[in-house]
Amino acid sequence: MADPFADDPGSAVDAPLALSRDRALRAFDLGVLAAIGVSLAYGVLLYPVGLTWGLIAVAVIGGWVIGAAVRSGAWRGQLHERSRRLQLLAAVLGVPAWLGGMFVSYVLSQALFPDAATPLMERLSAAGFAAYIDGTDRLLNIVSVSALAFLGWRSAR
């Protein structure tokens, strides 16, 4: 029986699939959705929860989730050729996932600031965000970004 999810249901699927534009777009879409989810989880666990070195585990799992989403979006479980472009996409998506997580944490830290005299929108700024990142543990940030990128690249095979 032919695969109903194949690009061409009438053809035999014996040969490994090559990356097409449609498959790359599906991979990008699912990868971005996964990166947004990882950003939200990372940000919430950083500020309100106060997780520090445990964020490395979040980054490892998040990188795997991003890579798996890219792989699943492109291939949907079918036999395929390895695509370095998809692996690179998953690795690159790990960086904005980390940055998004830091931004979520920054916004939450400002929104949940006790007894603030100024409105939230006045407390949010690019300089404040840069200072917030600078005030966090640099080694933790480097390891987290590296884990997100490496595991994304590795799991997108």
pLDDT digits (tens, 9 = 90+) for 39-87: 999 999 999 898 889 999 999 999 999 999 999 998 887 777 778 899 9
Residue 114, judged by CB atoms within 10 A of its CB (0-12, 13-18, 19+), counts as exposed
pLDDT, tens only, 76-101: 877 777 788 999 999 999 999 999 99
Q: Would you say residue 7 lies in a domain?
A: no
Max intra-chain CA distance, the chain: 67
Q: Structurally, how many domains does the chain consist of? A: 1
Q: Burial letters for 1-25: b for 16+ Cβ neighbours within 10 Å, e otherwise?
A: eeeeeeeeeeeeeeeebebeeebbe
Asked if the structure places residue 13 within a domain, the reply is: no
Residue 91 lies in a domain: yes
Six token digits for residue 150: 């490496």
Q: What domain range is 132 assigned to? A: 21-155
3 occurs within a structural domain: no
Residue type present at position 102: M
